[in-house]
Amino acid sequence: MSAAVDAAPGYRAGRTLPLRVELQRQLGRRRTLVMGGILAVLPLILVAAFAIGGTPEANARRGATLMQVATESGANFAATCLFVSAGFLLVVPVALFCGDTVASEASWSSLRYLLASPVPRARLLWSKLAVALGLSAAAMLLMPLIALAVGTVAYGWGPLELPTGGGLAAGDSALRLLVVVGYIFASQLVTAGLAFWLSTKTDAPLGAVGGAVGLTIIGNVLDAVEALGGWRDVLPAHWQFAWIDALQPTPEWGGMIQGTAVSVTYAVILVALAFRGFTRKDIVS
C-alpha cells in the first residue's frame, strides 16, 4: 500500500495538509475567536479598573512596581498588561492551541481519515505544531499591541517610566517590549510542548489543555517553595518573570538566557516524545 501511494503520480508527502489549510481551519474555530476576544478585552478592563480605583500607591517595604507606573504612558500600560497576564492568562492560549490540535481530531473521529488521505504522521504533527505555535505567538503579540494602542489613547504616548527611576525613550521602549514578548513566548514553549505531547496521548482535548495548565500551575507552586533551593533553577516557572531585567536602563540578559535554555530543553524533549509516541500509536478514532 505504501509503495503504491509513493508511486502515485503527483504525490508528494511534503505537500499534504498544507499549512495554509490547517491555519484556515484553526482560525475559523470558535475557541480561537473567543481566546482572541478575551486577550483583546483585558486592556480595556484594566483601563476601567484604573479609572475607577486609581493607580495603586507604592508599598514602602517593597518599593515601586510596574503597577504603580502603569498610567504614565501607553508603553507603561502595555508593560503592566504583560506583567499581570504572563503568569497565567498567556499560558491558556498556548495550552489551548497546542493541546487541542491533535486531540480534537481524535475526538471528532477525523484523525484516521486525515492519515488515510494519505498524510504522513510526521507531516501531520509538524503542520499542526507549526500552526499552533504560530497562533500562540499571535496571541502573545495581540494583547500588548492592543494594550499599547489603548494605553496611548488613555494615557498618551511617551517614554517608559521605570519603577526604579528614570525612563526609556519611546523608540527604545517599543523595542524592549518586543524583546519582552519574545521572551515570554520562549518561556511558554515548555507549556506548548507539554500540551502538544498530551494532545497525542488522549482523545479528550480538555484533558490535554487542562493537564498542561494544571502542571504549569504546579510548577509555579513548587517555585514558591524556597526550601527547594537550587532545584528551583530547573523549573521553567522560576524564570518566567526574568524579562523584567529587560526593562532597565542597562538590560541584564543572564536570567532570560537561562530561562530560554530551560524552556527550550523541556520543549524539545516533550515534542520528541510526542512524535515518537504518535508514530507508533494505533489510530482508531
**According to the model, what pLDDT value does residue 5 have?**
46
Residue 93 binned pLDDT confidence (cut-offs 50, 70, 90): very high
240-267 tens-digit pLDDT: 899 988 888 888 899 999 999 999 999 9
pLDDT of the residue at 116: 58
Return the exposure string of 233-244: e unless at least 16 CB atoms fall within 10 Å of the residue's CB, then b: eebbbbbbbbbb
pLDDT over threshold 60, residue 2: no
Per-residue model confidence (pLDDT) at position 249? 85
Cell of 165: 527611576
At 12 the pLDDT is 59
pLDDT at 22 over 70: yes
Q: Which has more confidence, 65 or 93? A: 93
The model's pLDDT over 180-219, given as tens digits with 9 standing for 90+, comes to 999 999 999 999 999 999 999 888 888 989 999 999 899 8
- Residue 278: is its pLDDT beyond 60? yes
Closest CA to 148 of 116, 121, 181: 181
pLDDT level of residue 273 (50, 70, 90 thresholds)? very high
Residue 3 pLDDT grade (very low, low, confident, very high; cuts 50, 70, 90): very low
Sign of torsion over alpha carbons 58, 243, 252, 194:
positive
Per-residue pLDDT tens digits for 140-186: 999 999 999 999 999 888 888 887 777 888 788 889 999 999 999 99
Q: Residue 187, class by beta-carbon neighbours within 10 Å (0-12 exposed, 13-18 middle, 19+ buried)?
A: buried
